[in-house]
Amino acid sequence: MQTYFSDLLVIGAGLSGERIAVEAAGAGFGVNVLSIVPARRSHSSAAQGGMQAALGNCAMGKGDCPDVHFADTVKGSDWGADQEVARMFVDNAPIEMRQLAFWGVPWNRVVPGKSTFFKGGEKFEKIEEEDKEGLITARAFGGTAKWRTCYTSDGTGHAVMCTLDNRCAQLGINVFDKKEAIALIHDGANCLGAVVRCLKTGVLEAYVARATAICTGGFGRIYKATTNAVICDGGGHAIAMDTGLVPLGNPEAIQFHPTGIVPTDILVTEGCRGDGGTLLDVNKERFMQIYEPEKAELASRDVVSRRMTEHMRAGKGVKSAYGEHLWLDIRHLGDKHISTKLREVDEICQNFLGVDPRVDLIPVRPTQHYTMSGIRTNKDGAAYGLKGLFSAGEAACWDMHGFNRLGGNSLAETVVAGGIIGKKIAEFLRGHEVSFPTKTIRDALLKQQSRIDALIAGKNGRENVYRVREAMQDALMDGCFVFRNGSDLEKCVNVLQEVMERAKAVGLQSSGIGANPELSAALKIQGQVKLALCIAKAALERKESRGSHTREDFPERNDRDWLKRTLAYWPEGARLPRLEYEDPTPYYELPPGERGYGGGKIITADAEKIAKLTIKPGAKPAEAAKAKTAN
């Protein structure tokens, strides 16, 4: 048994993981980072559009500030966000963007003078100020009052990922690829590290540490139609949930992106619409302005996805061999713009669709994209239930997104949260000591080796893991997609329980030796079905519509009964998750109200309760907390 020790173990080498590692290593701690793939191939690299930060440098961002960004974020979340966390995020985002520039991110910059831009297919003119020349510029994104999305053409994730990976190399951080964590090592109170399978040799190893951070991204691959990479399979969530101690936050909060291309579901960035692209129907006519006169294509993602689905239901979709879709039109943006600021979109269209977006329309439809759900943490990134376990990025429910995140806020969250939580982990490590009993480590390894041996021998059955996974994906697509209702959700839960019994009977068709993808899939399948059941069961119980969670049988946003966050635990031996609930935020800087788009009736919350939780305008979170304690 090979055992590796460090002060901090980071599982996942995407942006949030490496940003935490940089912060901890900069504080003098030893860090090991694990990744299934080479770090620069992490899914963070696929992010195209940009990172939101209220810099206010460009003409269309004039007057922007963290307060405006905060209001956009809370409204975007449909008042599901932790407003204390959202405030921390918006205040730190501008600082982080400048830090990234210092480390080498080549942000697009303000070019002074007159230029044109498109909105709703129409051309407008703007004038950039001379004294802003060379400062970080921004583009428009959905659900924002100002242009604040900092970008590097449409390859922002790739640029920032390469920069942070270079920073890790400069600091001597150990980043190990082809390593997959398959279980946490813990003593029931403290997290001690992880059991890790080497994907080159198949050998199990122990990585022990005084603190562990799970930064493995989302779990979109449990859906059939998703923009997520194949590595976004919920492995990090599953190992946390398997402890029986760590809950998922808001598992029903799943985001669907309006513009996944058909049929591959690869994402084309919201930057297309932010830069002036439009959505067209079967008659090649715009329609979003009919539903959303003010925001049109730049309403929040949950709203645009619903409106597109409604329009297709009304018979305005384009029929194809791969199902109905609509069109995204960026032709009017011109060759220069597409070749520079949307070059990855151009490559995706050319390589995967065989169309030229300069002259052709792009077939798109809503597809699963993001999980606002995740390992539930407090504002310091510390996971509920196990001391020494942290999480950040899409893997976590931190919870600044609530029930819908704004485009550009997630990529920014990776580095902003990574910096904040990295500092908190460093503080934790300065005062935390823990013992590593060899028996606890050995028992954890033996338990996982027994799982592997049973799968290879077919001890529990010979169910094909890929067919079981497909059954799970079909159940979620049928019962828990853009629109949901009670009968479909009940059916989804029942089907998934049957799928779970099949998942328990999975056995390998192959030998399981060495770098074996079937074994990797088989080790994850029960955890994936548990995640699916958490989504479906929590969605069934939440009898309201909020953000991305849209119940056709409960169309109102019900602040009276459902202004709360779901916590989903999976006790050992359970057939369904245990659901608990907590307040979504410790205080309201922005009391619940209208979003300004999306429509819908609101059942209001108890005014007296909200008033007691509402802080005075301009008060800082610490001041507000102190005042409430005094009261």
Give the model's pLDDT for residue 307: 96
301 assigned to active site: yes
Asked if the model's pLDDT at residue 625 lies above 60, the reply is no
Give the closest residue to 36 by CA, choosing from 591, 520, 579. Answer: 520
- Percent share of the chain, pLDDT over 90: 90
Give the closest residue to 36 by CA, choosing from 169, 131, 158, 178. Answer: 178
Q: Mean pLDDT throughout 308-334?
A: 96
| Among 233-242, 528-537, 541-550, 602-611, the least confident range | 602-611
* Digit-coded pLDDT (tens) for 63-84: 999 999 999 999 999 999 999 9
* Digit-coded pLDDT (tens) for 260-291: 999 999 999 988 999 999 999 999 999 999 99
Q: Mean pLDDT throughout 220-235?
A: 95
DSSP for 542-588, please give it.
--S-BTTB-BTTB-SEEHHHH-SEEEEE--TT-SSPEEEEE-S-S-B
Give the model's pLDDT for residue 630: 44
CB 518 within 8 A of CB 509: yes
Give the model's pLDDT for residue 480: 95
CB 381 within 8 A of CB 230: no
Give the model's pLDDT for residue 621: 59
Taking the C-alpha atoms of residue 171 and residue 472, their distance in angstroms, rounded to an integer, is 42
- Quote the tokens at residue 519: 């074994």
Q: Mean pLDDT throughout 510-538?
A: 94
Give the model's pLDDT for residue 143: 86
* Digit-coded pLDDT (tens) for 398-439: 999 999 999 899 999 999 999 999 999 999 999 888 999 999
Asked if the model's pLDDT at residue 622 lies above 90, the reply is no
Asked if the model's pLDDT at residue 623 lies above 70, the reply is no
Q: Mean pLDDT throughout 533-539?
A: 98
**Helix 621-630 × helix 83-103 angle, to 10°:** 160
Asked if the model's pLDDT at residue 631 lies above 80, the reply is no
| Residue tagged active-site, from 40, 139, 210, 301 | 301
Asked if the model's pLDDT at residue 2 lies above 80, the reply is yes
Q: Mean pLDDT throughout 9-32?
A: 97
Q: Mean pLDDT throughout 206-214?
A: 98
Domains and CATH numbers, the chain: 258-367 (3.90.700.10)
